[in-house]
Amino acid sequence: MTNIENTQEVLIVGAGPVGLVCALGLAQAGLKCTVIDEVPGVVHSPRAIVYHWSVLAGLDRLGILNQAIARGFCKTDYSYKVHKSGETISWDIGALKGHVEFPFNIHLPQNILAEIILEELKNYPDVSVDWETGFVGLEQDGDGVTVNAKKPDGSEITYKADWVIGADGARSPVRHALGLPFDGTTWEHRFVATNIRADLEPLGYARSVMLIDDVYGAVVVKINNDNLWRCTFAEKADLPEESVLERIPEMFANIIPEMGDDYELVQYSPYRMHQRAASSFRKGRVMLAGDAAHSTNPTGGLGLTSGLFDSYILYEALAAIIKGQENESILDKYSDERRRIFLETTSPRAIENCNFLYHSGDLEVLEKNLQNLRRMANDEPFMLEKTLFTMSMETPSLITGLRTNEGVKIA
């Protein structure tokens, strides 16, 4: 049996952080929208933790920054360690104080950000989140979009919407339904993200440690104040995925030797990484955002950062179009600009980050990169200039032309 749902102004496919930020922005603009997600609730697998200083003004505009800070923590210290030599290079982005409104990063698991937004959405009766509702297909014409979805019991639901946002992750069934290619590359090696409970700060660990090595390269990051840490490492993809768990203790013994056996493995997740972008982030009345539009390796935490910058301008643009204040042609600008920034700025930097940490076999390149890091540790203006990088991943508002961090100069 097929149920026909009421007409929505916007239907969002995917209740990940990007879909939910769009929903909250649209809700606050007074619009009616529905979010559907195929899973029963927020996904808890180990994913984004770090919110760079540059995305915080956008969270503040949505009224959720204080809760994000309360449920996570603010952090300014960074440390890079060369595995083979033991050289450690550290700096503190607290020097952003006086230059930007929020001079710190936040560490917060993305599932907690999703929970904060879901709580907030309860204040908006015109917004609903339909779990266990998997997108199946869509049809569109000049008047709107018809979306077909399925429940676990096989029953079908049809939604009618004026606009659709596909925020359904890197595999994006919405992108497939639109027939948009997702060109790019897949990294050869496998990444393994682990969440562990351990007390690493007394062992001398900064709350973000990047370990540089062609075998034991890793990111070790504190997740919360309950001593939960993320350790992500890489391994050859031809090693069997089924036995990842058996290899974890040996990797930890090399990556965090000071820890010994004094840890609890809470979660782990092997995954492949891509550098890919959809050929367009808009087709008619359907827009792609977040990982559905672009996928990057997460070294340096640029994945969700880009997705948040997509959502900040997309919900604002859609709200203005629906209210008759703007022409829908600004959505082409959304597509062109977000895609251009991903291909020209975000993806190249994420590739650099990944090669630096995990493929540092070329000693000449390594030394050049280390010189940059040493300078960051000793030359504050240089460090500040480098720290402003993530702001260049933002597209200014399509309505006002302003950035969420207006007034900060990009080097």
Ligand X SMILES: Cc1cc2nc3c(=O)[nH]c(=O)nc-3n(C[C@H](O)[C@H](O)[C@H](O)COP(=O)(O)OP(=O)(O)OC[C@H]3O[C@@H](n4cnc5c(N)ncnc54)[C@H](O)[C@@H]3O)c2cc1C
Phi, then psi, of 390 in degrees rounded to 5: -65, -20
Pairwise CA distance, residues 129 & 26, whole Å: 13
Pairwise CA distance, residues 275 & 289, whole Å: 15
Indicate the residue type of 73.
F
State in angstroms the smallest separation of the CB of 86 from ligand X: 26
Q: Does 58 contact ligand X by CB under 6 A?
A: no
Binding segment toward ligand X, per CB under 6 A, in 38-46, 63-71, 365-373, 394-402 = 38-46
Q: Does 192 contact ligand X by CB under 6 A?
A: no
| Chain residues 245-284 in contact with ligand X, contact rule CB under 6 A | 271
Q: Does 301 contact ligand X by CB under 6 A?
A: yes
State in angstroms the smallest separation of the CB of 402 from ligand X: 22
Q: Does 23 contact ligand X by CB under 6 A?
A: no
**Residue in 8, 11, 25, 37 binding ligand X, rule: CB under 6 A:** 37
Its sign, for the CA torsion 40, 42, 48, 52, is positive
Q: Does 19 contact ligand X by CB under 6 A?
A: yes
Q: Does 291 contact ligand X by CB under 6 A?
A: yes
* Neighbouring-strand partners of residue 106: 51, 74
371's tokens: 């010189």
State in angstroms the smallest separation of the CB of 19 from ligand X: 5
Residue with Cβ nearer ligand X (176 or 374): 176
Binding mask 107-126 for ligand X (x = CB under 6 A): ---x----------------
Binding mask 335-364 for ligand X (x = CB under 6 A): ------------------------------
State in angstroms the smallest separation of the CB of 24 from ligand X: 13
Number of shown-chain residues binding ligand X (CB under 6 A) = 37
Residues 6 or more apart whose Cβ sits within 8 Å of residue 272: 186, 187, 190, 191, 237
Report the b/e string of 126-142 with b at 16+ CB within 10 A: ebebbeebbbeebebee
Nearest to 182 by CA among 279, 298, 281, 273: 279
Cα-to-chain-centroid distance, residue 262 = 30
The alpha carbons of the chain give a radius of gyration, in whole angstroms, of 21
Residue with Cβ nearer ligand X (217 or 307): 307
Residue with Cβ nearer ligand X (331 or 366): 331
Residues 6 or more apart whose Cβ sits within 8 Å of residue 121: 20, 23, 24, 27, 127, 129
Q: Assess contact for 288 and 175: CB atoms under 8 A.
A: yes
Q: Which residue has the tokens 């993320």?
A: 230
Binding mask 133-172 for ligand X (x = CB under 6 A): -xx-------------------------------xxx---
Q: Does 46 contact ligand X by CB under 6 A?
A: yes
State in angstroms the smallest separation of the CB of 271 from ligand X: 6
State in angstroms the smallest separation of the CB of 289 from ligand X: 7
User: What residue ranges bind ligand X (CB under 6 A)?
Assistant: 13-19, 36-39, 43, 46-50, 110, 134-135, 167-169, 173, 193, 232, 271, 290-292, 298, 301-305, 307
